[in-house]
Amino acid sequence: MKFKKLNKIAAYLIYLVIAKHLPVSYSKVSFASKKIRYFCVKGFIDRIGKNVNIERGASFPPSIKIGDNSGIGVNCSLYGPVIIGKNVMMAPEVNIFTKNHKFDRIDIPMCEQGNTDDYPVIIEDDVWIGSRVTILPGITIHKGAIVASCSVVTKDVEAFSIVAGNPAKQVKSRLDDE
């Protein structure tokens, strides 16, 4: 048991110190960075599928789960437990939060009230998340949805819908194209 925990810690440290900073996977001089990052991440996160692409600069805790053929984009930051389904595309600089600051008391400063519990974010299969999207705690993005760049997702996203804006609102349904 101790050996397994030490291996997880070692894999996490190797990721943070070396693999996280290797070139992007599509670079002409990537030095197999996609495979190296995958190998390191496989050693410390809760679950990782096949053919997963973790890009340069991605930050996340060991509590994430990611399905087959999915990716975490360049400089993405995932805070807390996040479940990512299969075939999920995540563009650069996406931020996913699973907790917030408490602010319910007015007799003490907000910075002294601590944080809420974690509310996991769930991203179902076949989702495309655009660049610089922010996803707030407890959100589910359902199957086949598209989240436009720079959107702030404050409510669950319906299956096969396209959302955009701050706050993100449905602008179209992919089912309308059929």
Measured CA to CA, the distance from residue 50 to residue 40 in angstroms comes to 14
Edge-to-edge, what's the strand order for the sheet holding 47-48?
47-48, 65-66, 82-84, 121-123, 140-141
Measured CA to CA, the distance from residue 49 to residue 121 in angstroms comes to 18
**Which are the contacts of 76, defined by CB distance < 8 A and separation ≥ 6?**
55, 57, 58, 59, 60, 90, 92, 93, 94, 95, 96
Determine contact, residues 150/132, Cβ cutoff 8 Å: yes
Q: Strand 65-66 to strand 82-84: parallel, antiparallel, or no bridges (unpaired)?
A: parallel
Q: Catalytic residue positions?
A: 101
Instruction: Map tokens 């922010």 to a residue.
Output: 134
